[in-house]
Structure 1
Amino acid sequence: MAPAVYAGLQREIADVVVSSRAAAARNVNALMTATWWEIRRRIVQFEQGGEGRAACGEALIRRPATDLSQRFGRGFGWCNLAQMRAFYLGG
């Protein structure tokens, strides 16, 4: 196979890999955004129980934060969950 032909094939394969990786990253980002939004929504619903405001605030997210951190690792501490909740509430 001529070097120029091979170089073209290699470039085309590399383009497919790069394109696929970019698409995968976009899909993962979209799924993670939806996941975080759903976590926020559920925290707020759990805390507020249908009321306009939560009665206990931060205290109610400490236990899920501990449990989620033990199960999934970083990113689920009470501070992160509090920030998720605040973002969901628009603050």
Structure 2
Amino acid sequence: MKKELNAVNNISKLYKEISSILRTARANAYKAVNFAMVISYWSVGQVIVEYEQNGNERAEYGKAVLEGLSKKLTAEFGKGFDESNLRYMRLFYQTFKNCDTLRHELTWTHYRLLLRVKDETARNWYMNEAAKNTADICKILSGRM
């Protein structure tokens, strides 16, 4: 009976350790994929801005470009590439000119919200707070806090 109890306790400890490893791995994989998408959206914004600046009548020409681009991207890659989101990607690039300053902890949703904050100092403060709190949440979820 005592051996069985020890075996159950050992399995519980082993399970707890392994499940912690797997949760951490999944959280890290999610963050890596998410940040790859953030960088891709920044790059899409960069390409759109550079293309528009070489165009003729920027406002009307840009609208037609985004409309056609949206249709083609949505057909191939699915939802998430409507004109509104493409405008956000363009604004994302214009607001965060240096992609090296982007925070790995933040999602595209975080950045879309940050784009609403016009004051750069306030936006940076919110960005750092969101990154700090997201990191804490990841630690909690992985059982490391």
After TM superposition, the score normalised by the length of structure 1 is 0.86
3-state SS in 2 of match to 1:58: helix
Q: Distance in 2 between matches of 1:82 and 1:50?
A: 16
* Aligned residue in 2 for 1:75: 80
Instruction: Give % identity.
Output: 33
* Structure 1, unpaired ranges of 5+: none
Amino acid at match of 1:54: R
Amino acid at match of 2:40: T
Contact 2:71 2:82 survives alignment (8 Å): yes
* Structure 2, unpaired ranges of 5+: 96-114, 116-145
Matched, 1:54 2:58: yes
Amino acid at match of 2:35: A
- Measured against aligned partners, the alpha-carbon deviations of 1:29-86 in whole angstroms (never above 9, x if no partner) come to 21111100000000111111289x8352312111111000000111001121122112
Contact 2:45 2:93 survives alignment (8 Å): yes
Contact 1:48 1:54 survives alignment (8 Å): yes
Query: Aligned ranges for residues 31-42 of structure 1 at < 5 Å?
Result: 31-42=36-47
Q: Distance in 1 between matches of 2:37 and 2:16?
A: 31
Cα RMSD (Å)? 2.1
Q: Distance in 2 between matches of 1:79 and 1:28?
A: 23
* Aligned residue in 2 for 1:20: 25
